[in-house]
Amino acid sequence: MKPPVLDALSVPLDGACLVEASAGTGKTFNLARLFLRLLLEKDVPVESILTVTFTEAATAELRLRIRQKLAEAASFFAGGESEDELLRRLRGAADPETLLRRARCALRDFDLCSISTIHGFCDRMLRENAFESGQAFEQELVPDVGPLIEEVVRDFCALRLFGAEPGTIAEIAVHRSLPGLLELAREAVRRPDAVLLCEPEAPAPRPARGRGRASQAGAAEEDPSWRAILEFRRELVEYVRRELPRRKRARRVFSFDDMLLRLAQALEGDGGERLAEKIRQRYRAALIDEFQDTDPVQYRIFQRVFQRPGIPWFLVGDPKQSIYRFRGADVFAYLEAARDVPLRLDLDRNFRSDPSLVAATNLLFERLQRKAAPFVLEGIPFAPVRPRENARDRLRWADRPALPLVIEFLPASDEQGSRIISKDQARRMIPERLADEIAELLSGGAQIEDRPVSAGDVAVLTANNDQALEVQAALRQRGLPSVLVTERSVFESEEARALYRVLSAAANPQDAGGLRGALAGELVGLRAEDFVRFERDERAFEQWVEQAREWRRLWRERGVLSLVAALLDLRPFPEGPANAARLLALPGGERRLTNLRHLAELAHREEASRGLGPEGLLGWFERKMRDSSGGEEAELRLESDENAVRISTVHKAKGLEYPIVFCPYLWDAVKEPRNPAFLAYHDPACHGRPVLDIVAPLLSGAKKGCEGFARQQADREALAEGMRLMYVALTRARHQCRILFGRIGKSWHRSPPAYLLFRPELEREETMDQVKKWTDADLLRRLEALAASSGGKIAQEEFRPRPAPGAAKAEAAPPALSCRKFDRVLSGAPLTTSYSQMAAGDPRAGERDWDALAPEAPSRPAPEAAPAAGRVMLADFPAGTRTGYLFHSIFEKMDFADVDGPALSALVAEELPRHGFEPRQAAAVERAVRAVCRAALDPGDPSLRLAAIERQAVLRELPFVLPADLSRHGPAAARVLSRLLREHGDGAAAAYAARVEALSLPEVRGFLRGVMDLVFRHRGRWFVLDYKTNLLGAAPEAYRPAALAAAMDAHHYRLQCYLYAAALRRYLAYRLADFDYQRDFGGAYYLFVRGMDEANPPGAGVVFDRPPLALLEALDGFFAAGPAGEARP
């Protein structure tokens, strides 16, 4: 039975009242009236009326409406005019002076008014009643606990599977998908009151079609592994529910949901009644807006506090518009309140839409209600609404009225209309056709009242953010202005990635690769020719390095906002505009600039509130990008207020209205539950108790159809939410709504449009599977009949591409198209190789490069700082790759000129544990590093020492990539290389040539890659240097020239030396305009660290080589593509 209509002027102001406010029926207007009555009629102070709504935006709107109504009341009671019947009635029933005093006091104290979100209310109550609620004083609010949940899930998997039997691990791994487990954990946290169903046997039979839980148990026996997997999932849920709160307490953080849970727990605990009484003393009345978006926890809070005789509290909402399940909203909590609250009222007059559109919506849902539950779930009926008084249809074409509700049918491509359109096909077709249709609407003479329809009158509602972006791209191609109104996070945008690159470059200007990435991004926008110029003109690139340093200085001294302001004022090209103007001129320029400023504002807020420096802020920015989080404040902002098409998701459009609305994606509104780890639904046998079922998906994998009841219930609730989404979409329009429908996807018959349009064609006992058999012709025939019986309220059209306005018709037939033939032969050869891979081809495995290939030697006691007599330093230091990595890392990061300062000690202390060494080994490492830096590399030139090289004359860890094609040599590659060494090399190369023949070189066809430890310039000449930590022996004799020459050959360091020299020669010839090898190339140094003790003779541990130019030219030819053996300089 339909509830009575709410009369805000006379409804009793005591006790609980549930008000169902259909879309457009003046919910906010009536809330403001109820607030005014409580204030003026019941004399409740403004600070004693609790008003709760769902979002910050709704809070701001409600606050504005109430303040305006108070100002109107004060003016009226002071002798002004008003047409508000409520104010007239109040003046006739009470003393005007008293009413004026109350209104003015309320305006004066309006800042004390408690209008907030539910989370704001709970947080305030917890803080103000910290002792009663047990709330900690110092805690940090974390808007997104997703990373912490993922951490808990990963820890559980590690703990649970460590040491398990291999068979158990393999069995669980087959059924365990980390994303599925993460979603299971999130659902368990989001719905703490959900019952975990982890047993296949049902406690009672279920009235469900098909297989029930009794048959589930039988199916489970067919797969004995199900019990281990089920136990794994059950333990995961219990672990997450137990461990997540513990970690939050330990880290002193809490989430928005924790605010609700903690207040609910405090109210239900030992001191709960005392806390509830304190809240009631503060708030003598409550107005709860958007109650359809509540959840069981919120309802328990309000019930516990305000369910007392004489306390007025109004629950205002519309279950038909409950669409925020993904945020925790639970329409079953509303249905529970509807059973509990004795007084239910209705708002039945629509103030938004034209009369014909109201009638069309009524017709569709009333027609459905005669055959089935209109919103699938029992307890959510459809109550028809009336248009406002004196309303009339305001949209028309030049020569006729426009029909208010248009159903556009997307036909299949085959003539019989029996083929189903795939969702991918539909997503490709719809944006282009929709853009054409909007262009035709804007140029076709449609009018609202006496003015033409403009882009700002049109809105497109989508099911998700990706569809919104696709529609905007199609509109942009046609030159139609549009703006996005979505819930997508600004951290998902390309501008976020581009700004992150700039911030990274500013934080680390010496990272040439990172700086180049920032300069190539859209925020600076350098061109390819600019980077080519950098290769030839180092000074040009150095200017950008200085610019990055200036950004860093601004960031550190004045904050990130100053950096972004400088970036927008920057002129990347002297002849061009500043960055802000350049970005604005790009396609989607307003969106780009809006996103950039939004990101800068969020970064500044985080920087200021937490006192973060560049490194800390960069870490925060990276986490936000990775998690795409940030809450409501990070949602994309409207980039422009100009006359433009609004593109929004249905969720974001709730509460808004538009003159003309296109709904092309309602067929995609149902998100069918397909998580392999769980099903979430409500048990109808227990008044909608939430259930987290981890049995059904597992058993459906064991035997198709075994999930029975659980799957049916989950699918039913998914369709119900889709129907509520469809109702919200249809009721956004003021003048016209256009919905698209077609046989799209395999489950098209279970989509909301199919249920709304064709479920009335079936008998009550029939299911929508009957509709699945219908062809396009069957559907069109029924749609045409519906339009004909609507009395001119509904039209049916075909959704086909339309010619763009003014486009000329093509006269000539399109040219015949054909695919290009692929006639290349793909090589199976490796694409890259390196020195290490080439040297690894030596069959004498025991003589490989100890630096890179030797196994770890067992750790020995920490050596003394000074070696024993007759032994080299580090003689007792472990051999192996860890030692090599340790010294390479130190040499890469240290300042050669500052070997005696504290910086070296700090660096060594930092690197030792990172590479698995103990702090007591620091003295020996520091002594060795100092010895290497102080050693004279050239006995004839004492100034040639690492400690004396200027910082700007050093390139560390210089990578190179050279073209390499050894496949043309085939198996003879090693022999060809050996011959080149003998013919073009010096005596050392000739001696080494015999050893090269034993190599088995990879037949690579691609590139030779490598990294030079150090390149430096000394007295105008360039050198390449490599560090070696090989333990050649404990005695100094092992590091004398003859022994080192043997080691260079045995480990193929000689080949590495030639490759590095060839790479450096190419690099210098490219970067230096007048490079001359004989004049500018100094040679190659190999430093065997263990032998470079200052007590040893000069030159100990040092190998120098300067390959002949002819040899390097021959190596170029050996690696380059061309006829075998051809040398190309």
CATH of the domain at 666: 3.40.50.300
Q: What is the pLDDT of residue 803?
A: 52
How many CA atoms within 13 Å lie on the side-chain side of 573? 11
Do 145 and 133 sit in the same domain of this protein? no
Q: What average pLDDT score do residues 913-928 get?
A: 92
pLDDT 10s digits, 996-1012 = 988 888 888 889 999 99
Which of 1077, 1074, 1102, 1078 is closest to 1088 using CA atoms?
Answer: 1102
Residue at 366 is within a domain: no
Q: Which of 68, 69, 90 is nearest to 13 (CA)?
A: 90
Decide if 377 is inside a domain. no
pLDDT of residue 133: 64
> For residue 1127, what pLDDT is reported?
35
Q: How confident is the model at residue 1129 (pLDDT cuts 50, 70, 90)?
A: very low
C-alpha neighbours within 13 Å on the C-beta side of residue 519? 26
pLDDT in tens, 128-173: 887 766 666 667 777 778 888 989 998 998 888 777 676 666 656 5
Looking at the predicted structure, is the pLDDT value of residue 214 above 90?
Answer: no
More confident call, 786 vs 826: 786
Q: Does residue 459 lie in a domain region?
A: yes
* Residue predicted with more confidence, 340 or 166: 340
Q: Name the pLDDT band for 862 (thresholds 50, 70, 90).
A: very low
- Read off the pLDDT of residues 364-401 as tens digits, 9 standing for 90 and up: 999 999 999 999 998 899 999 999 988 999 998 877 77
Q: How confident is the model at residue 706 (pLDDT cuts 50, 70, 90)?
A: very low
pLDDT, tens digit, 9 for 90 and up, residues 272-309:
899 999 999 999 999 999 999 888 889 999 999 999 98
What are residue 801's phi and psi, to 5 degrees? -60, 140
**CATH number of the domain bearing residue 560:** 1.10.486.10
Last residue of a domain, one of 609, 634, 659: 634
Q: Please count the other Cβ atoms lying within 10 Å of the Cβ belonging to residue 67.
A: 16
Q: Is residue 1111 assigned to a domain? A: yes
Are 142 and 255 spatial neighbours (Cβ–Cβ below 8 Å)?
yes
Q: For residue 398, what are the CA distances in angstroms to 357, 436, 451, 457, 736?
A: 19, 20, 11, 17, 16
Is 24 in the same domain as 101?
A: yes
Q: Give residue 700's pLDDT.
A: 55
**CA angle in degrees (0–180, nearest 5) for 509-512-515:** 65
| Average pLDDT of span 887-916 | 91
CA of 60: how far to CAs of 26, 638, 953, in Å? Answer: 17, 17, 61
Q: For the residues 89-103, what does the mean pLDDT come to?
A: 89
Round to whole Å and give the CA distance between 261 and 279. 17
pLDDT level of residue 694 (50, 70, 90 thresholds): confident
587, 625, 635: which is closest to 503 by C-alpha?
625
Q: Residue 626: which pLDDT band, with cuts at 50, 70 and 90?
A: confident
Q: What is the pLDDT at residue 108?
A: 93
pLDDT range class, residue 709, cuts 50, 70, 90 = confident
Same domain (yes/no): 845, 735:
no
Residues 1040 and 1111 in one domain: yes
C-alpha–C-alpha distance, residues 736 and 730, integer Å: 9
In a 3-state reduction of DSSP, which class is residue 196?
strand
pLDDT, tens digit, 9 for 90 and up, residues 715-747: 899 999 999 999 999 999 999 999 999 999 988
pLDDT at 817: 72
Q: Which helix (H) or strand (E) holds 341?
A: none
Has residue 516 been placed in a domain? Answer: yes
What is 813-879 written as a DSSP string?
PPPP--PPP--PPPP-S-SEEEHHHHHTT-S-GGGS-HHHHSPPPPP-PPPPSSPPTTS-TTTTSPP
Over residues 169-188, the pLDDT tens digits come to 665 654 556 677 888 898 89
Give pTM, 2 decimals.
0.68
All residues at 6 or more sequence positions from 132 whose CB lies less than 8 Å from its CB, including other chains? 266, 271, 274, 275, 278
Token digits for 431? 């944006």
106 pLDDT band (50/70/90 cuts)? very high
How many CA atoms within 13 Å lie on the side-chain side of 293? 19
The predicted pLDDT at position 170 comes to 60
pLDDT one-digit tens code per residue, 441-492: 998 889 998 899 999 999 999 999 889 989 999 998 888 888 888 767 888 8
Query: Residue 1049 pLDDT more than 80?
Result: yes
CB burial readout 692-726, b (16+ within 10 A) else e:
bbbbbbbbbbbbeebbbbbbbbbbbbbbbbbbbbb
What does the pLDDT average to over 806-817?
47
Nearest alpha-carbon partner for 1036 in 1091, 1102, 1104: 1091
Report residue 1120 as tokens: 């380059």
- How many domains would you assign to the chain? 5
In the listed set 608, 634, 660, which residue is the last one of a domain according to the structure?
A: 634
Alpha carbons 413 and 421: distance in angstroms, whole number? 8
Comparing 54 with 909, the larger pLDDT belongs to 909
What's the CA gap between 974 and 971, in Å, rounded? 7
Mean pLDDT of 681-686: 83
For the stretch 962-974, pLDDT in tens is 999 888 888 899 9
Residue 405 domain-assigned (yes or no): yes
- Domain match, 1084 and 937 both: yes
Q: What is the pLDDT of residue 415?
A: 53
Residue 114 sits at φ, ψ, to 5 deg, of -95, 80
- Looking at residue 255, its pLDDT comes to 84
Q: What is the DSSP string of 361-407?
A: HHHHHHHHHTTS-TTSSTT------EEPTT----EE-SSSBPPSEEE
pLDDT of residue 869: 57
| Domain region containing 755 | 391-411+435-479+647-798
Confidence of residue 801 (pLDDT cuts 50, 70, 90): low
Q: What is the pLDDT of residues 814-850, one digit of tens each?
A: 566 777 777 766 666 677 888 888 887 665 533 334 3
For 467, left (φ over 0), alpha (ψ -120 to 50), or beta?
alpha
Asked if the model's pLDDT at residue 204 lies above 50, the reply is: no
Q: Quote the pLDDT of residue 222.
A: 47
The verdict on 850 and 959 lying in the same domain is yes
Q: In sequence order, what DSSP letters do the residues of 973-1036 get, joined into one string?
A: HHHHHHHHHHHHS-HHHHHHHHHHTT------EEEEEEEEEEEEEETTEEEEEEEE-----SSG
Question: What contacts 902, CB < 8 A, 6 or more positions away?
Answer: none
Q: Alpha-carbon torsion 36, 38, 42, 44, what sign? A: negative
Residues 1051-1084 have pLDDT tens digits of 999 999 999 999 999 999 988 888 999 999 999 9
Residue 864: pLDDT above 60? no
In the block, tokens 């043997």 appear at 1046
Q: Taking all residues of the chain, what is their mean pLDDT, rounded to a whole number?
A: 85
pLDDT score of 623: 81
Same domain, 1008 and 914: yes
Buried b (16+ CB within 10 A) or exposed e, 368-397: bbeebbbbbbeebebbbbebbeebebbbee
CA distance 1129 to 1110: 9
Q: Is 628 in the same domain as 686? A: no
Three-state SS string over 631-649 comes to CHHHECCCCCCCCCEEEEE
SS3 labels along 1-50: CCCCECCCCCCCCCCEEEEEECCCCCHHHHHHHHHHHHHHCCCCCHHHEE
Q: Does residue 262 sit within a domain?
A: no
- Do 504 and 553 lie in one domain? The reply is yes
- Name residue 680's beta-bridge partners: 692
**Does residue 1070 share a domain with residue 1029?**
yes
1018: Cβ contacts below 8 Å, ≥ 6 apart: 943, 944, 949, 953, 1082
Nearest-10 crossing angle of helices 538-558, 560-569: 140
Please check whether residue 485 lies inside any domain of the structure.
no
The answer to whether residue 558 scores a pLDDT higher than 50 is yes
Return d(Cα 706, Cα 299) in angstroms, integer: 35
Closest CA to 836 of 1051, 1025, 1005: 1051
Q: 321, 347, 373 — which closes off a domain?
A: 347
Q: Looking at residue 701, what is its pLDDT?
A: 47
**Do residues 289 and 115 lie in contact, with contact meaning Cβ atoms separated by under 8 Å?**
no
Residues 762, 792 within the same domain? yes
Residue whose C-alpha is closest to residue 29's, from 80, 85, 76, 74: 85
Q: Which helix (H) or strand (E) holds 746?
A: none
Which amino acid is residue 453, in one-letter code? V
Q: What percent of the chain has pLDDT over 70?
A: 87
**C-alpha distance from residue 444 to each of 396, 452, 897, 1060 (Å):** 11, 9, 77, 70
Task: Return the residue matching tokens 């999932």.
Answer: 233
Claim to verify: residue 90 and residue 132 sit in the same structural domain:
yes
Q: What is the CATH number of the domain that holds 975?
A: 3.90.320.10
3-state secondary structure of 582: helix
The Cβ of residue 483 has, within 10 Å, a number of other Cβ atoms equal to 22
Please report how many Cα atoms fall inside a 13 Å half-sphere around the Cα of residue 121, on the Cβ side. 29
Query: Cα(1126)–Cα(1117) distance, rounded to whole angstroms?
Result: 6
What whole-number distance in Å separates Cα of residue 244 and Cα of residue 209? 38
